[in-house]
Amino acid sequence: MKLNLLIVDDDKMVQTMHTIIVKRSGFSEKPFNFVNGKEALDFIVSNGKEEKYLILLDINMPVMNGWELLDAFSEFGVENEIFVVMVSSSIDQHDLDKASTYSKVISYVSKPMTKDILDGLRNHDKLRTYFF
Interface residues toward other proteins, by CB under 8 A: 11, 13-14, 16-17, 20-21, 24, 59-60, 88-92, 95, 110-116
Residue 39 or 95 with smaller CB distance to other proteins? 95
Q: How far is the CB of 45 from other proteins (least distance, A)?
A: 28
Residue 2 or 94 with smaller CB distance to other proteins? 94
Amino acid at 26: G
Residue 47 or 123 with smaller CB distance to other proteins? 123
Q: How far is the CB of 90 from other proteins (least distance, A)?
A: 4
Residue 74 or 89 with smaller CB distance to other proteins? 89
